[in-house]
Amino acid sequence: MCGIIGYIGNKQAQPILLNCLGRLEYRGYDSCGVAVSNSSIEVYKDVVRVGALRKASPRIKGTIGIGHTRWATYGEPSQVNAHPHCDCHGSIAVVHNGIINNFQRLKHQLISEGHNFVSETDTEVIPHLIEKYYRGNLEEAVEAALRDVDGSYALIVLRVGEPRLVAARKDSPLIIGIGDRENFIASDVPAMLDYTDRVMYLEDGDIGVVTPNSIKVRSDGMEVTREEHKISWSVADAQKAGYEHFMLKEIHEQPKVIRDTLGEYVQATEPVVDLAVMRDEGIESMLILACGSSYYAAVVGKYIVEELLGIPVRAELASEFNYFSRPLARTGAIVITQSGETADTLKAIKRLKEVGCPVLAITNVVGSTASRIADQTIYTRAGPEISVAATKSFTAQLMVLYWLALSYSQVDIKRLTDIRRLADMIMGLRQLPSKVQQVLDNEGKIMECADYLSAYEDMFFIGRGINFPVALEGALKLKEISYIHAEGYAAGELKHGPFALLGSDTPVIAIVDPDSTYEAMLTNIREVQTRRSPLIALAEDGDEAIGELADFVITVPRVDAIFSPVVNLVTLQLLAYHTAKKKGCPIDFPRNLAKSVTVE
């Protein structure tokens, strides 16, 4: 999704803006641009990477400016559609994230009033509306313009000769970074981390006026105070630290992420969330909502909670739930979102709250919209996840789900289906970082398998029970970064259709659970082998039966079946990574994808 940055201070804006845009590259983009104000506004933008823009753009003098990385929605990726966009006279420049739903009507109206448009974007109506309403006060003109707008936005406005930036947000994140005689405005924290770790999150409806020495925020015409937060991530956390890609670094961080996330909650001295509310309100079922990888974490969560607590759990895609499902009475709702900004997930939270359903959000981003609109929030301690493909955030989400199920079993002890499981679970959780490290130590073998798989164009991932969502997530990881067509399937379902596609050019990756589903999976593997599909198995070391049937065995360490998604998924993340690397794909920034999906 698009990224935005604004700078105002006592230094030259252009190099700072370009550096900040570089930090936003991870969000995915097709074009980028900057505008700097001095005696006039100079704009440089193109369909290029930030590095190329840095080389191509001449040095522009000025200490106030805005920048943007664009991910095309209205209007193809092109120089003219890239941001910043200006009014007729080039005296107002705007960068914008979000969507203006009524832009066609506004555009026709503005054209009939004499405004000239050059792009196909929805954003371009904003500088023209501000121009229309400008009567000597930029903030008032922005307010008036936004009254005409129906849609979502995080935007920054620059006007020539004005020693201030004006920022506004609605349904799209916007953060002010506080510096020493300089201030920043950005769509997310990593953009500004080189310069400041002090931030202020704007709320929906806020309009901020930022100068080098002051920040004023208004909402509904009244001045409001927004709390200052200190970011605990360091610049190093948001850099590659010697790894070739962010994704590889993030995969390797997982033992630490598990320790950090569990350490935060298992050893907490004060209650992290009030789970007694659920018991007191007689919660009889749970609903877990999310999108993409976070949805697959939700499905693993369904298995965890149903097994440990015996409570029926529905895991649903937020994008479907919003249109086709109803929240039920006596249901506790959990939403999972790494970014805390996914439009469908936020819509689901609002919908649940409208019907009085208490919502617990699990997110990685402190101050994100999800954390502010949910009733309670649990933060995953994954640190910044820069690579578009989710890896460590998924594992951290699972840790929170394990911890939640365990904690709730203690709050409402009658829920615990098997009391001995509690001690086993705690022991198992403690061992997980070293088990994941064993997977990482097996990277050489996984690379060999990736070399082998990179020659194929279609494949299936199969799993059963709690490893069914792992098959779905393994297939998603492979397809999004290697562009190989991959489908995740419940192993027992292959025979209900996909068998027609099996053959020597369609490998099957089978996740073998050594416990309850072992025999059934062995049968499924034999079925696959009969159809001559190359078979790769994730299995326990020394499993002779699997060794005989599979073309390739990747061993995974033995853990309690309930934790097997963690070791299996880390294995599949490495498999996807090395397959994509072998194919020379741009792993951290896959085509057409964005880190945070802020449109429905």
Q: How far is the CB of 322 from ligand F6R (least distance, A)?
A: 14
Can residue 349 be called a binding residue for ligand F6R (CB under 6 A)?
no
Active site residue 581: no
The reply to whether 254 sits near ligand F6R by the rule CB under 6 A is no
Task: Decide if residue 337 touches ligand F6R (CB under 6 A).
Answer: yes
Of 8 and 400, nearer to ligand F6R (C-beta) is: 400
| Burial letters 116-125, b for 16+ CB under 10 A, else e | eeebebbbbb
> Under 8 Å CB-to-CB from 451, ≥6 apart: which residues?
578, 582
Q: Which residues contact 106 (CB under 8 A, 6 or more apart)?
A: 100, 125, 129, 148, 149
Sheet containing 552-555: order of strands: 485-490, 458-463, 508-511, 535-539, 552-555
**Is 345 an interacting residue with respect to ligand F6R (CB under 6 A)?**
yes
DSSP structural state of residue 557: -
Between residues 292 and 327, which has the closer beta carbon with respect to ligand F6R?
Answer: 292
**Residues between 294 and 323 that touch ligand F6R (CB under 6 A):** 294
Following DSSP, what letter does each residue of 170-213 receive, concatenated? ESS--EEEE-SS-EEEESSGGGTTTT-SEEEEPPTTEEEEE-SS
What's the number of CA atoms in the CB half-sphere (13 Å) around residue 416? 16
Q: Report the nearest approach of ligand F6R to the CB of residue 596 (Å).
A: 6
Contact map string, positions 265 to 294, toward ligand F6R, x by CB under 6 A:
--------------------------xxxx
What are residue 575's phi and psi, to 5 degrees?
-65, -45
Does the CA dihedral 55-4-70-320 come out positive or negative?
A: positive
Q: Is 595 a catalytic residue?
A: yes
CB of 348 to ligand F6R, least distance (A): 11
Work out which of 261, 338, 377, 524 binds ligand F6R, going by CB under 6 A. 338
Q: Is 573 in the site for ligand F6R (CB under 6 A)?
A: no
The single residue among 13, 186, 389, 512 that binds ligand F6R, judged by CB under 6 A, is 389
**Minimum distance, C-beta of residue 478 to ligand F6R, in the bound complex (Å):** 11
Pair type for strands 331-337 and 359-363: parallel
Q: Of 339, 371, 467, 573, which one interacts with ligand F6R (CB under 6 A)?
A: 339
The whole-angstrom separation of Cα 287 and Cα 296 is 14
For ligand F6R, the binding residue among 14, 342, 377, 598 (CB under 6 A) is 342
Rule CB under 6 A: say whether 564 interacts with ligand F6R.
Answer: no
SS (H, E, C) 349-389: HHHHHHCCCCEEEEECCCCCHHHHHCCEEEECCCCCCCCCC
- Provide the minimum distance between the beta carbon of 337 and ligand F6R in the complex, in angstroms, as a whole number: 3
Quick count: other Cβ atoms within 10 Å of Cβ 269? 4
Nearer to ligand F6R, 130 or 390 (CB): 390
- For position 597 contacting ligand F6R by CB under 6 A, the verdict is yes
Taking the C-alpha atoms of residue 287 and residue 301, their distance in angstroms, rounded to an integer, is: 10
Q: Which of 107, 302, 477, 595 is catalytic?
A: 595
CA angle 205, 195, 97 (to 5 degrees): 35
Burial status of residue 558 (CB atoms within 10 A of its CB: 0-12, 13-18, 19 or more): middle
Q: Which is nearer to ligand F6R, 561 or 597 (CB)?
A: 597
Pick between residue 183 and residue 380 the one whose CB is nearest to ligand F6R: 380
Which range of residues in 32-40, 80-88, 336-344, 440-448 is near ligand F6R by CB under 6 A? Answer: 336-344
Task: Determine if 123 is a binding residue for ligand F6R (CB under 6 A).
Answer: no
Both tokens of 155, joined, read 């935007």
Which residues, at least 6 apart from 493, have a Cβ–Cβ distance to it below 8 Å?
Answer: none
Is 196 or 293 the residue whose CB approaches ligand F6R more closely?
A: 293
Give 237's Cβ-side CA count (13 Å radius).
17
Amino acid at 598: T
Shortest Å distance, C-beta 502 to ligand F6R:
26
Tell me: does residue 432 bind ligand F6R (CB under 6 A).
no
Q: Which residue is nearest to ligand F6R (CB)?
A: 292
Q: Which listed range, 23-31, 39-47, 333-341, 511-519, lies at the site for ligand F6R (CB under 6 A)? A: 333-341
- Counting residues that bind ligand F6R (by CB under 6 A) gives 15
| Site residues, ligand F6R (CB under 6 A) | 291-294, 337-339, 342, 345, 389-390, 476, 480, 596-597
Active-site residue list = 2, 595
